[in-house]
Amino acid sequence: MTRLGLFLCLASSTTKRTFATISTMERKIIAVCQLTATNDKDKNFETCKSLIETAKESRAQMVFLPEACDFIGESKDETFALSEPFPGPLMQKYCQLAKNNNVWLSLGGLHEKVSPTKVRNSHVVIDSSGNMAAIYRKTHLFDVEIPDKGVRLKESDYVERGKEIIAPVETPIGRVGLAICYDMRFPELSLVLARHGAQILTYPSAFTFETGSAHWETLLRARAIESQCYVVAAAQTGRHNKKRTSWGHAMVVDPWGVVIAQCYEGTNMALAEIDLKYVDKVRTSMPVWQHRRLDLYPELVPLKNEGDIANENTVYQFGQTSVSADAVFYRTPYTIAFTNKKCVLPGHVLVAPIRPAKRIQDLTKHEISDLFSAVQKVQKSVENEYKANSSTITVQDGVDAGQHVFHVHVHVIPRRPGDFKENDEIYRELEKHDKEETGWRSESEMANEAAALRRHFSPS
C-alpha cells in the first residue's frame, strides 16, 4: 500500500462491508462521508450511524460527517422547530455512538438552537469516550445571490455568526483545525489554523451544485497547498427537497495538493491514510513558512499581550516539531520561551521567535530586538529558579553549527560551579545531547517546570 493510502468507496449508506485488514500501528485511517440529508432527523441519524459503524469495521480512527448531518429543513420555521440546544437528545445519541464504537467523530455542522429566531451552525468533535472535545461555530455565513445560476441563499437570516477561531484539536490522527463549508473561501482562516499547529484542516460542507461544480475541488486543493495540511471535506450530495441540491464529491487532499480519496455519485464513504511524517516532509522541502514576509504584510495570528501564554490549547510551530502552551512560560508579541524536551543541565530552556524562521538572518529587526530582550529576562528567571549566578547562552545557527531544529532558537543554560570539569565540554554535550535516545522528558515534566518559571514573571 502506498503513501496515498486507501481509495475505497461504499455503494450505499446501509451496506456493511469488511475490507482487507489494515495495520493501524503506524497508519492513521480516517473515513470521509457524504449523504443526502432531509428533514427526517431519525432517518438521517440512522444513515450516519450506519456509516460510522461501517467505518469502524474498516478500522477508521476518526469519521468525518458533513455540514447539516442532523437535517436540512424545507423552511426557516422548520429549521427552528427541528433544532436543539446543546447538549440535546441528538447530541447525546452521537456521544453514545462514538463511545460504543471507540471512534472519534467530526459532526460537520449541527443546528444549535440559541433563540426562537436564531441557530448556530456548529461543528462538533466528539472523542472516543463520548465527550465533546471541541465546538466551532461557523464564522463566515453564506449570503449569496447568483441570479443567472438560480442561487439565492442568505444564511444570516437564521444563523448567528461565530465569534472565534478554535485552536486545533488533538486527536489520534493528528491536530485537526475546524471550519465549515463557506469558510474554505477565506484562506486567512486556513493559515491561522496551520500557524496554530494544525496538520489537518476539515471543511464539512453542503455546497450548492452550481458553486460546487465550479469551485469545490479547486478551493480544497488550494487550501491544502497553502497551509501544507491534509484537507478533509465531508459533503452533502444529491437532492434534499424541491428547493435544494448539493454537489457532493466528499474528498481528502494531501499537503501537496493531491486528491487521495473521493466519493463520486452513488457512493457515500471513502477511507484515507493520514501520514503526519509526510506533512513534515512537505513543509521541509517547500519551506513557505520560513519565507513569509510578515515585515511587509500583517501578522496572520492575533497576538496576545506580553506575558500572556494564550489559550491552553494553543500549539506553536517549532521547526519540524511543535510546542504546546503548557511548556511555554513567557511570551511577548514576537517571542516565546519554553521548557526543553532534552536538557544538558537542569534549567536548560529555549527562547524562539513565534514566527517560523530558520536563521537569525531571516528575522526582522523587531523580532531580533524582541528575541534578545526576552533572552535577558529569561536568563534572570532561570538563574533565580535554579540558584545560579552564571549562564551559557548560545545559538546554533545553521547545520554546520549543530542546528537540528530548523527554527531560530537560543539556548539558555544556568551554570553552577563544577557542572563540567572543563567549561567547553558544555558545547560538545550540546552538540550531541538530542541525538541520544535516553533522557527525553515527558510533557508533564515540561509543564511542571514551566509553571514554576512563570512565577518569576509579573503579570502584564
Catalytic residue flag (residue 409): yes
Return the ∠ at Cα 154 (arms to 150 and 157), rounded to 5°: 150
Is residue 115 exposed (0-12), middle (13-18) or buried (19+ Cβ within 10 Å)? exposed
Beta strand pairing status for 251-253 and 259-262? antiparallel
DSSP state of 149: G
Residue 26 has pLDDT above 80, yes or no: no
pLDDT bucket at 110, cuts 50 / 70 / 90 = very high
Residue 185 has pLDDT above 90, yes or no: yes
Give the residue-averaged pLDDT of 244-258: 97
Give the residue-averaged pLDDT of 241-260: 96
Res 207: pLDDT: 96
Q: Read off the pLDDT of residues 392-436 as tens digits, 9 standing for 90 and up.
A: 999 999 988 888 888 999 999 999 998 988 888 888 888 877 666
Ranges of each domain in the chain = 8-284, 315-454
Q: Choose the catalytic residue: 67, 367, 385, 449.
A: 67
Query: Could you count the other beta carbons within 10 Å of the beta carbon of residue 106?
Result: 28
Report pTM.
0.66
Res 18: pLDDT: 29
Res 314: pLDDT: 65
Residue 288 has pLDDT above 80, yes or no: yes
- Is pLDDT larger for residue 143 or for residue 11? 143
CATH number 3.40.50.720 is the correct assignment for the domain at 315-454: no
DSSP state of 321: E
Joined grid coordinates for residue 318:
517549532
DSSP state of 25: T
State CA 148 to chain mean position distance.
37
Q: What is the 3-state secondary structure (H, E, C) of 381-446?
A: HHHHHCCCCEEEEECCCCHHHCCCCCCCCEEEEEECCCCCCCCCHHHHHHHHHHHCCCCCCCHHHH
Supply φ then ψ for residue 192, to 5 degrees: -65, -45
Catalytic residue flag (residue 9): no
Q: Choose the catalytic residue: 69, 181, 263, 343.
A: 181
Joined grid coordinates for residue 460:
502584564
Res 196: pLDDT: 77
Rounded-to-integer distance, Cα 62 and Cα 65, Å: 10
Residue 17 has pLDDT above 50, yes or no: no
Q: What percent of the chain has pLDDT over 90?
A: 63
Q: Read off the pLDDT of residues 225-238 as tens digits, 9 standing for 90 and up.
A: 999 999 999 999 99
What's the distance, Cα to Cα, between the start and end of the chain in Å? 53
Catalytic residue flag (residue 138): yes
The answer to whether 185 touches 208, Cβ cutoff 8 Å, is no
pLDDT bucket at 16, cuts 50 / 70 / 90 = very low
Q: Choose the catalytic residue: 123, 341, 409, 411.
A: 409
pLDDT bucket at 116, cuts 50 / 70 / 90 = confident
Q: Read off the pLDDT of residues 290-342 as tens digits, 9 standing for 90 and up.
A: 787 766 776 555 434 444 444 455 678 888 888 888 899 998 878 999 999 98
Res 134: pLDDT: 93
Res 295: pLDDT: 64
Rounded-to-integer distance, Cα 30 and Cα 61, Å: 6
Catalytic residue flag (residue 53): no
Joined grid coordinates for residue 203:
471543511
The answer to whether the 8-284 and 315-454 domains have the same CATH topology is: no
Closest listed residue to residue 153, CA positions, set 29, 68, 70, 86: 68
Fold of 8-284: Nitrilase/N-carbamoyl-D-aminoacid amidohydrolase (3.60.110)
Rounded-to-integer distance, Cα 206 and Cα 121, Å: 12
State CA 111 to chain mean position distance.
23
Strand partners, 117: none
Q: Choose the catalytic residue: 28, 113, 123, 138.
A: 138
Is residue 110 exposed (0-12), middle (13-18) or buried (19+ Cβ within 10 Å)? buried
